[in-house]
Amino acid sequence: DTGVSQNPRHKITKRGQNVTFRCDPISEHNRLYWYRQTLGQGPEFLTYFQNEAQLEKSRLLSDRFSAERPKGSFSTLEIQRTEQGDSAMYLCASSRRNRGYGYTFGSGTRLTVV
Amino acid sequence: AQKITQTQPGMFVQEKEAVTLDCTYDTSDQSYGLFWYKQPSSGEMIFLIYQGSYDEQNATEGRYSLNFQKARKSTNLVISASQLGDSAMYFCAMRETHSTGNQFYFGTGTSLTVIP
């Protein structure tokens, strides 16, 4: 069990640029989640995959955001035309279908839009 | 309405003492799960303890225990024998089994500082 891996750990980008983050879940976990956490807040749900299917999307996920999970393994989260309000920690988590257990989170990608 | 409410932005505790972090929740589901996570300054969310809505016993995991009061919709985390390494943000979270799919709702967190 190597844990959930997220890359990059930090990303600084200029406003208007596109950015892409990657998440590698725990290999036997078929469920993958993206959350966003702004300063002083708890994580907020963005989207959820079961295998390669994106089953839920939050209203927070504007048209500039897109997430994929090809082949049901790693996932990418892309933000197009970044805005300063996109600055946040983006957390990925994975889980098995297993009652009573929480997610395993990655260490997150901290995005700063300047 | 907030699904999860944590009313203590910051807490201090003396090393080796016990501390209680408060959490209340709001749901109309009968079946739900309640979780606590620890977030050190490194950013990773670390799962601590779980309580199911139908569990009759309060959950315990080592130095962590929950004071689960279903009628009051509260699930307070008790950390016994605090250690310096316990200094971190603590988040309470809930997952509703039926209403909202698989997402977790998190509170705004409590910052715990353990004083030597």
SS (H, E, C) B98-114: CCCCCCCEECCCEEEEE
| Phi/psi of residue A85, nearest 5 degrees | -70, -10
B104, A104 Cβ separation under 8 angstroms: no
Q: What local confidence, expressed as pLDDT, does residue B116 receive?
A: 95
Q: What is the pLDDT of residue A101?
A: 62
* Distance from C-alpha of B79 to C-alpha of A91, rounded to nearest angstrom: 25
Q: B82 or A31, which is more confident?
A: B82
pLDDT of A63 reads 92
pLDDT value, residue A11: 97
Residues of A with Cβ-Cβ distance to B43 under 8 angstroms: 89, 107-108, 110
> What counts of helices (H) and strands (E) characterise chain B?
0, 12
- Contact (Cβ atoms closer than 8 angstroms) between residue A111 and residue A19: yes
* pLDDT grade for A95, boundaries at 50, 70 and 90: confident
pLDDT category of residue B100 using cuts at 50, 70 and 90: low
DSSP secondary structure letter of residue A114: -
pLDDT of residue B59 exceeding 90: yes
Check if B78 contacts A (Cβ < 8 Å). Answer: no
pLDDT-derived band at A44 (thresholds 50, 70, 90) equals: very high
Nearest CB partner across the interface for B108, out of A42, A93, A103: A42
Those residues with Cβ within 8 angstroms of residue B56's Cβ, 6 or more apart along the chain or in another chain: none
Residue A13 forms beta bridges with which residues?
A: A113
| Residue A99 contacts B where some CB pair is shorter than 8 Å | yes
pLDDT of residue A98: 56
- How confident is the model over A1-29, as a mean pLDDT? 93
- Average pLDDT value for chain A: 91
Mean pLDDT of B34-61: 92
Residue B7 sits at the chain A interface (C-beta within 8 Å):
no
> What pLDDT band is residue A29 in, cutting at 50, 70 and 90?
confident
Q: CB distance from B102 to chain A under 8 Å? A: yes
